[in-house]
Amino acid sequence: MGKLEDKQFDIFIKNYKGHISKQGFKNTIQKDYILKVLYYSEHHLSAEEITDKIQKEFNIDIGIATVYRSLNFFEEMKLVEILNIGDGTRRYEFKFNKKHHDHLICTSCNKIIEFSDDIIELNQIKIAEKNGYVLNDHSMIIYGLCDNCCEETQE
């Protein structure tokens, strides 16, 4: 974690606390740590992984039910996005002020790669318009085999 990233997170958390307070919601230290784990994560984490990270890295007592409730709240507040890759585990990623991206999922090892492509984005808008839709949001997941899994099947 770099100093600039730390400062950006501090600004975000301060604004977040002010925003939810104005809306009449309560904040807890557990919610702060959940957001911190998601903010700094380079991976799409399950609720169990978030719970483990908080307990191990920050020595905070937090239960899985608290994490799930908080994640549901964060999803409603548009702070996190759920990624369901089809393996029965919901994964979460920090969404607030993050550039839109899509996902490649390996159907063998569940590796997730984020990507952005301007041509795909433009084509999705064109397809929506062609069919009388105004595109508000979308999610694209491409399933296949990653390089490592392709090599393993050829051996």
Retrieve residue 114's tokens.
Answer: 């984020």
Predicted pLDDT of residue 5 = 74
Kindly report the backbone phi and psi dihedral angles of residue 95, in degrees, each rounded to the nearest multiple of 5, phi listed first: -115, -30
At 146 the pLDDT is 93
Q: Provide the annotated binding site.
A: 100, 102, 106, 109, 121, 138, 146, 149
Annotated binding site for Zn(2+): 106, 109, 146, 149
**Averages of pLDDT over each 10 residues, the chain, 155 residues:** 77 90 89 94 94 94 96 93 88 84 91 92 93 89 92 75
Which domains does the chain carry? 1-98 (1.10.10.10), 99-155 (3.30.1490.190)
Cβ-based neighbours of 40, under 8 Å, separated by 6 or more: 1, 5, 9
Amino acid present at 92: Y
> What's the confidence (pLDDT) of residue 100?
82
User: What is the rounded CA–CA span in Å between residue 43 and residue 93?
Assistant: 7
Name the binding residues for Fe cation.
Answer: 100, 102, 121, 138
Query: What per-residue confidence (pLDDT) applies to 27?
Result: 87
* 29 CB neighbour count, 10 Å cutoff: 10
User: What H or E segment, with its residue span, contains residue 92?
Assistant: strand 90-94
Q: Helix and strand tally (H, E) in the chain? A: 6, 6
Map residue 112 onto helix, strand or coil.
strand
What is residue 155's predicted lDDT score, i.e. its pLDDT?
A: 66
